[in-house]
């Protein structure tokens, strides 16, 4: 399954309801699982981003639907990086002309 690194920043709304954020995280984990994916890791972070999540999803369309559902709640803004495993990286590089 494709892997995605999700960088999240709290919005003003998200900060004003920060005590509810563990419930929102649990709901996100359940949504990923229901969509056939796996929530691999979650980190609260310092610096430019407030949270980082590592998520696997069956495909880009499924992942995009999940992130749209998260974004429409208004608590976080996201930036996503599509991540390739070392094996995928090696195959990509091996396929170069």
pLDDT of residue 32: 97
Share of the chain above pLDDT 70, in %: 100
**Per-residue model confidence as pLDDT tens digits over 82-94:** 999 999 999 999 9
Question: How many other C-beta atoms can be found within 10 angstroms of the C-beta atom of residue 27?
Answer: 13
Give me the pLDDT at residue 25, please.
97
Q: Which regions in the chain score pLDDT beneath 70?
A: none
Instruction: Give strand pairing partners of 5.
Output: 54, 81
pLDDT for 52 equals 98
As to burial, measured by CB atoms within 10 angstroms (0-12 exposed, 13-18 middle, 19+ buried), residue 75 is: buried
């Amino acid at each position: 399954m494709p892997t995605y690194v999700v960088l999240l920043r709290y919005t003003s709304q998200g900060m004003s309801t920060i005590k509810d954020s563990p419930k929102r995280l649990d709901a996100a984990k359940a949504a990923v699982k229901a969509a056939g994916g796996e929530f691999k890791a979650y980190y609260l972070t310092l610096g430019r981003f407030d949270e980082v999540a590592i998520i696997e999803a069956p495909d880009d369309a499924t992942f995009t639907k999940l992130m749209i559902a998260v974004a429409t709640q208004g608590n976080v803004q996201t930036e996503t990086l599509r991540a390739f495993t070392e094996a995928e990286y090696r195959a990509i590089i091996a396929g170069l002309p």
